[in-house]
Amino acid sequence: LDKGLIVSFGEMLIDFVPTQSGVSLAESTGFLKAPGGAPANVAIAVTRLGGRAAFVGKLGDDEFGHMLAGILRENGVEDKGINFDKGARTALAFVTLRSDGDREFMFYRNPSADMLLRPDELNLELIRSAKVFHYGSISLITEPCRSAHLKAMEVAKEAGALLSYDPNLREPLWSSPEEARTQIMSIWDKAEIIKVSDVELEFLTQNKTIDDESAMSLWHPNLKLLLVTLGEKGCRYYTKGFHGSVEAFDVNAVDTTGAGDSFIGAFLSQIVDDQTVLEEEERLRKVLRFANACGAITTTKKGAIPALPSEYDALSLLKD
């Protein structure tokens, strides 16, 4: 039997990461290319675990864009939803974690191809075939991509897909925190599954205390499941009927990039064909243990895409 399709919508870009660790961008003498972008990472997280995924988004018709499309294809991600922009170039980011602990970012996005996806370019047939439609927030920032995002979400919903949202606030592309909050909240009540990190929960509630009350303040009537990831502390889950937490795995974390994408991709791959899991706590906890295992494995290797686990990797950690 064919597995259900997970369509992941949004950006894909290349992170240039310094070859030495702890340096500022200005100090770096060389960079490594790390393909990423949360929605693309999620699509690959799904296929690496044996699921079916498609990526919908736009790349530049340039060397980097074709390299990224190739990475999706090599990983078994369906490419019929990828558009190439004739004018604008593929998004690029220069990212470093400085020795003072701060992340420094520089973006090539003025605008980049990913922000230029138009509603009329969407592959609606592909989107209508999704069992789960997953998306982030960066595509909400400017037109025409915002309209494309809203349309894709609506078409997927009408066709019966489950809507899954990860705001992914890490990339500081908004002009202000208020703008970020407003845009995220403008689509908040559409999603049926939402995954936020503890940092995002704090940002969205503007409340420093991370507890059940602050999480539940974000609840809305269409929501079936709210997931809060807590890094090495695992995750918390909230549904209409029950809530609780699932512990993380004890691993030697070297780079947490992509852990959240791995977590949500793994989660979606396990519920796409049977959404009754969302209503049964014991089964939900089992799936979250699997997702925590996948997140943990992703932290044990550098980069996001190279560190996403296979089903064998995940089951091996679960057996230990």
Sign of CA dihedral 307, 311, 313, 315: positive
Q: Does 234 bind ligand ADP (CB under 6 A)?
A: yes
Angle at 237 between CA 232 and CA 238, to 5 degrees: 150
Question: For residues 120 and 72, what is the distance between their CA atoms, to the nearest angstrom?
Answer: 23
3-class secondary-structure state, position 232: helix
The stretch near ligand ADP (CB under 6 A) out of 41-49, 154-162, 214-222, 231-239 is: 231-239
Site for ligand ADP in 184-223 (CB under 6 A): 197
Q: Out of 49, 204, 248, 314, name the contact with ligand ADP by CB under 6 A.
A: 248
Name the residue type at position 250: D
Sole window of 155-163, 210-218, 246-254, 305-313 interacting with ligand ADP (rule: CB under 6 A)? 246-254
Interacting stretch for ligand ADP, rule CB under 6 A, among 44-52, 70-78, 208-216, 229-237? Answer: 229-237
Residue 238 tokens read as 């909230």
Task: Find, among 37, 51, 66, 63, the residue nearest to 6 by Cα.
Answer: 51
Say how many residues touch ligand ADP, by CB under 6 A: 19
Residue 229 interacts with ligand ADP (CB under 6 A): yes or no: yes
Question: Taking every pair of C-alpha atoms in the chain, what is the biggest distance, in angstroms?
Answer: 54
Q: Is 133 in the site for ligand ADP (CB under 6 A)?
A: no
Residue 119 or residue 231: which is nearer to ligand ADP going by CB? 231
Binding flag, residue 124, ligand ADP (CB under 6 A):
no
CB nearer to ligand ADP: pick between 111 and 295? 295
Q: Would you say 74 or 211 has its CB closer to ligand ADP?
A: 211
Contact 237, 243 (CB under 8 A): yes
Does 259 contact ligand ADP by CB under 6 A?
yes
Indicate whether 232 belongs to the interface with ligand ADP (CB under 6 A). yes
Torsions phi, psi for 188 (to 5 deg): -55, -45
The residue within the footprint of ligand ADP, chosen from 39, 82, 292, 305 (CB under 6 A), is 292
Nearest to 197 by CA among 251, 263, 128: 263
Q: Which is nearer to ligand ADP, 174 or 249 (CB)?
A: 249
Q: Which residues pair with 8 in a beta bridge?
A: 55, 134
Closest CA to 224 of 170, 267, 261, 182: 267
For binding to ligand ADP (CB under 6 A), which residues are involved?
197, 229-232, 234-235, 248-249, 251, 253, 256, 259-260, 263, 292, 295-296, 299
